[in-house]
Structure 1
Amino acid sequence: MTATVAGRRAVVTGAAGGIGAALAAELLERGASVVLADLAPTVAATAAGLGDGAHAWTGDVSSVAGVGELIAFADDRLGEVDMYFANAGIIGPAMLGETDADWDAIIDVNMRAHIRAAQALVPRWQKAGSGYFVATASAAGLLTQIGSAAYSVTKHASVGFAEWLAMTYRDDGIRASVVCPMGVNTNLHDAAGADDGAAQQAVTSAGAVLEPAEVAAIVLDAVEAEQFLILPHPEVLEMYRMKGSDYDRWLRGMSRYQARLNDH
């Protein structure tokens, strides 16, 4: 099966920079039209720099109202949206966090935003017989992130939700994929390092730090092949297999590794 990108009408969230902006650029290169969405007003300049076929929307994609406004905007500019990249994400609090507000914020952005977008789009995609939902998660959604419980939990949830979409609506012509990268050269990656040096060291020592454009090309190649699990860093698959083969050994090893990182 193939899902060509040419002619598709796509929304990309978290698109002011980083992976989101790179995805928008690659979508346009492959013949799609795109709405770039972000809370940061700089998304307008990013879209303008991509030329015809790119439109900017500024707002909160984690709220029900925001998702509704975004989709209405995209429908108006592009025609009915048939591809949605839930790419917006935040790092959240270190360790266990200190308040419910810490957790509420990251759950809304990293998880509920995906649910709310799917609730708005899936019913009409069922009627149309097609649609594609792509979630940006993280290798932390498969392997767990040293340092942040909230980031790890929400990224696991993102993987699980995309998996549920993929198997539940496949016979309706709807496809879903999830992207699980390690280090990518973005502001989010830099912020993670500033907040938790051990977590940053764990990511950079495990594999190469890729450029957003590299990730975007890998993602869209996989989407066009209708591949569910997209791993820009192939070594994540081997680690995931190791984890699954002996979970207790994995946990003991990660605990020792975390202790070594914290000692430096």
Structure 2
Amino acid sequence: MTGPAGRTDQGQPEPPDVERQFAGIGAVVTGAGHGIGAALARALAAAGARVVVNDLDAGAARAVAAEIGGHAAAGDAASEDGVAALVDAARARLGAIDLYCANAGVATTGGPDATPEAWELAWQVNVLGHVRATRLLLPDWLERGTGRFLATVSAAGLLTMLGSAPYSVTKHGALAYAEWLAATYRHRGLRVHALCPQGVRTRMLDGTGPHGQVLLAPTAIDPADAAAAALRGMAADEFLILPHPETAGQYAARATTPDRWLHGMNRLQQQIETLPTAQETR
């Protein structure tokens, strides 16, 4: 039960009304053929949104769209031409785009030894895909005085991801861009959110090797849980959305005691280096 000022009888803030926030809106979700993106599309549709499902995998996009009664728009959500085509197709279907979920991402591994192509791919998808989308969406949002942008950043953008420098660096870039958007346009009606989960049981987690198995797998959540956290966070107008609550403390430790935090991360790296390789376990 609720009491005055939107608070429960126990004095806690009233949970946000997710369905009231999203019913009838036009939403685009990129990378929505699988994983978190598919879960976001399902959750938004269940809340009453009209959803355009985007993915490079055309078959997966069509399957999710058919499941939720949405519209499929297969294609590249990172390149200039691909983003323009997606925005045009979504506007043709929805009339206006009220929410853009920049969920598509790539997890390239390695450090300085990663190929130039791997670094470029991570930069194009994880950062410039967001820039290109907002370049096209902002004029309409600012004219209408309303719009919402969700970036699936990952906790790697707040912390780091051992074993994957391109991913870590570009996810920090995605967070920085989301922060800049929020600081620059909030007073003009733009709401920006950064979804920062740790491990989520997806194909991407499966490909992270021993680093992911040590750092992420033990506390991994289902994609539906990440999507539910995203909708609750957006409805509550939160910038940082943390499906793993412990991320907040880790982020604070990184900021306030960086040497201690880095020492701890390095100990994890040393632990991972002692693990037997796949070849040694045969």
TM-score bucket of the superposed structures, by smaller chain: over 0.9
Is the contact made by 2:109 and 2:163 (CA closer than 8 Å) also made in structure 1? no
Whole-angstrom distance in 2 between the partners of 1:242 and 1:253: 11
Alpha-carbon shift at residue 138 of structure 1 (Å): 0.8
The secondary structure found in structure 2 opposite 1:4 is: helix
**Which residue of the partner structure matches residue 32 of structure 1?**
49
Q: 1:94 aligns with which of 110, 126, 136?
A: 110
Report if the CA contact (8 A) 1:198-1:262 is conserved: no
Residue 18 of structure 1: how far off its partner (Å)? 0.6
Return structure 1 stretches of 4+ with deviation > 3 angstroms: none
State the match for 2:197 in structure 1: 181
2:178 maps to 162
In the other structure, the counterpart of 1:50 is 68
Q: TM-score, normalised by structure 2?
A: 0.88
Query: SS where residue 144 of structure 1 aligns?
Result: coil
Q: Does 1:198 align with 2:211?
A: yes
Taking the aligned partners of 2:97 and 2:113, their CA distance within structure 1 comes to 36
Of all paired residues, the percent bearing the same amino acid is 45
The one-letter amino acid of 1:20's match is G
Return 216-225 or 98-107, whichever deviates more.
98-107
Give yes or no for the alignment of 1:63 onto 2:79.
yes
Quick one: distance in 2 between partners of 1:157 and 1:98? 18
Which amino acid in the other structure matches residue 85 of structure 1? Answer: C
Q: Which has the higher Rg, Structure 1 or Structure 2?
A: 2
Normalised by the length of structure 1, the TM-score is 0.94
Check conservation: 2:182, 2:190, Cα contact below 8 A: yes
Contact 2:22 2:48 in 1 (8 A): yes
Match of 1:171, as an amino acid? H
Residue 117 of structure 1 deviates from its aligned partner by 0.4
For 1:1-264, list aligned pairs within 5 A.
4-41=21-58, 42-51=60-69, 54-193=70-209, 197-205=210-218, 208-264=219-275
Corresponding residue pairs, total:
257
| Partner Cα distance (2:173, 2:214) in 1 | 24
State the shift of 1:93 in Å.
Answer: 3.0
AA in 1 matched with 2:235:
E
**Which consecutive residues of structure 2, in runs of 5 or more, have no partner in the other structure?**
1-15, 276-282
Q: 1:97 to 1:110 in 2, by over 3 A?
A: farther
Name the CA distance, whole Å, in 1 between partners of 2:166 and 2:44.
31
Query: In 2, distance between residues paired with 1:96 and 1:11?
Result: 34
Q: CA RMSD in A?
A: 1.4
Structure 1 gaps of 5+ residues are none
Structure 1 residue identity aligned to 2:213:
Q
Q: Are the aligned partners of 1:93 and 1:103 in contact in 2 as well (CA < 8 Å)?
A: no
8 Å CA contact 1:182–1:203 kept in 2: the answer is yes
CA contact (8 A) 1:38 1:57 kept: yes
Instruction: Give the Cα separation in 1 of the matches to 2:221 and 2:107.
Output: 18
1:204 offset after TM fit, Å?
2.4
